[in-house]
Amino acid sequence: MPCWEPFISRPFLLALLSIHGVASVFIPTLPPLEDDSKGDPGLGRLDLTISNTTEHSPGILIGGNTVRISQVSPSRTSTEAPYGSWPSPVTSNLVTEPISAVVEPPRIDPITGLVFWSEELNGRRAVYHFDPDIRKVVRWTAPDYDVVSRVHEYGGGSFTVYNNTLFFSRGEDDAMYRQEGPASQPSRLTQGQKKRYADGVYSPEWNALFLVMEDHSQVEEGGLQEPRNSIVMVDASSGKEKIIVEHADFFASPRITQDGLHLVWIQWNHPRMPWDENQMFVAGLKEHETDITISRFFQHGRLGRQAYDINPRLGAREAVVICGHDLTVVDLRKQKRRVIKTGYTTYSLGVAYSKAGDKVYTVASDGSRHARLVEVEVRTGRTRDVSQASDAEVEKGYISTARLMQFPTTQGDFAYGYLYSPKNKDYHAPAGTLPPLLVKVHEGPTDAASTALNLYYQFFTSRGFAILDVDYRGSTGYGKLYRNKLNEMWGVYDVEDVLAGAKHVVKEGLVDEARVCIDSSSMAAYTMLSALTIPGSVFKAGASYYGVSDPETMATNTHKFKKNYMEALIGNLDRHKDRYVTRSPLRNYERLEVPMIFFHGANDKVVPPDQVRGMYNLVKTKQLPAAFIVFDDEGHVFTHRESLSRALEAEFYFFAMVFNFTPADIVSDITIDNMDGEQTGKEERQFPSRR
């Protein structure tokens, strides 16, 4: 889902409009919705009301209103079976099957009007274009060119296009390449070594690219401790490079005015993260003058993403914005906005107007469809697919869709989450029984849960589990105030909200209190493990995937972009060392009192396996069910399909054994210690990962 708040700040859009040649206008921060009584509620609004019902059981508190949720009547052909024991066509092989995913937002060639985007399959990225006139998709880059940038380590903004010429960053050598037409061979443009490029734009007036450049040469040669960032101008013919702007820690979004006279960019410095504070600069290019205009505004920190666009049609005075879960058109004259009804519920990565301004292109998805590039008519909302998304061949009768929940938490506050009810058209549970609950913690932590189709979730819900995906305080999509609540409170508010969400669905009679479990991976596992070390935790079992368990390790062992992330989330390490100790699951792991299964890669350099083995041994020593599964060909974050399939089946099987139900179609060769009060004597299982 998009992670941008409603951030249309007045100074920024005024500067943006001046770049596009639009006269000065007043832009309200959040214009009123047209026909608001008929519009869908926006996720960023606290006056949220929801009138539709969900699929199960009574009473969820949503937006302060108790909504009755009717029990689904079993069909005449469905079979009665306990929750958790339903067979399902959503197999682990189906879940882990590679799909082609749109990974960068659409860019419009301003001359030809062709729509360009990037897709990833099996870990490699390629650029495509769509011709709106003949409705044809054409691939540009060959398989031996992985179109990806590694600037700021996370990349993004790996290509730009002008007049049927593509400029892109190649992952194999980090250089910029030029390709004239989809059938031509790319030629290397930049010649420097150990440099990375991203987020570029081409200027015909200068016949040059303006790019964010990250120089790693002095770091790798033992000089600087961090790479140097700058904005460079690269001659589009010769590749000759010149630094235009430097002396800041980070740069993003260099853009050129249509007359080629001014450069606009964003920069920020340690210890701030870009979503906390950054600055926009406008500077003359010909004189390289130092008299610059500075404006401060909120902007999401990933390169290449853009949650808004200005209609290029002369006199249109219109913008399109991804706002929460809505695709919204802002009338800059009337100071009003309206939601475009497309049939999709989630928009991500970015949005762009067509050359004529009558259509927009964005990446859309919903609870039954994977993300794909779509074309939307602005006036009517008519929506057509552009990219061929590989949706799973699963009937809707096995697909559970998310329902937004608002629930009370600590400090008299509220938090949010998405509830997925058990759903399988072939089975129903015995009357009077309740399903087990699996709670999910999203990555980030300043990110958000997504309502796009997730077959990992459907693997559980189609077998009789309920899932709660928690958007704790600090998540994006609910306004900047909500996101900033996590400042210096990570390990507190996120943990309290995860616990509050689980307790809420239990209190409302939606799930079985005795069968509440939680899982998460990597950095998000910090919240999960913290919740499991809270005395009297509502959770009865947990699953950790290569879980980060010590915030001090994250604060002292990370790359430049995240160097001061922990300072914003917890506090300065030197001044607040006590917080890093008291909020560390690793240093408080003796509090673990629930069955646990741990999945880890033998080659994990972020979280050493020995660190997790200590937690496993503790749980095992306490005579609690425990398992430790190590994949010998994996590092931090699993990449092999076999590992993912085995881990998914092992997790479900572990919960089934702990909660005493028999899965119908899941088998696993894992060994669980202490299942019958006896230890097996095996410390861990070693699984070779096969490609």
The answer, yes or no, to whether residue 473 has pLDDT greater than 70, is yes
Question: Mean pLDDT across the stretch 273-285?
Answer: 79
pLDDT digit string, tens, across residues 360-369: 999 998 888 8
d(CA 336, CA 318): 10
Average pLDDT over residues 385-402: 83
pLDDT of 111 over the 60 cut = yes
Q: Is the pLDDT of residue 126 over 90?
A: yes
12-21, 455-464, 585-594: the lowest-pLDDT one: 12-21
Q: List the single range of 345-349, 565-569, 686-690 with lowest mean pLDDT.
A: 686-690
Q: What is the pLDDT of residue 534?
A: 86
DSSP string of 43-63, one letter each residue: TT-TT----S--SSSS-EEET
Q: Give me the pLDDT at residue 485, please.
A: 92
Averaged over 362-379, what is the pLDDT? Answer: 91
pLDDT, residue 1, reads 35
Q: What is the reported pTM? A: 0.79
C-beta separation of 101 from 386 below 8 A: no
25: pLDDT strictly greater than 60? no
CA distance 599 to 648: 10
Lowest mean pLDDT among 1-5, 129-133, 491-495: 1-5
**Average pLDDT along the chain:** 81
Measure the CA dihedral 141/145/147/153, to 10°: 180
Other C-beta atoms closer than 10 Å to the C-beta of 153 total 13
The string of pLDDT tens digits covering residues 191-204 is 988 999 999 999 99
pLDDT for 291:
42
Say if residue 8's pLDDT is above 50: no
pLDDT in the model for residue 101: 85
Q: Answer yes or no: is pLDDT of 355 > 90.
A: yes
- How far is the CA of 465 from the CAs of 82, 85, 556, 650, 683, in angstroms? 10, 10, 39, 15, 29
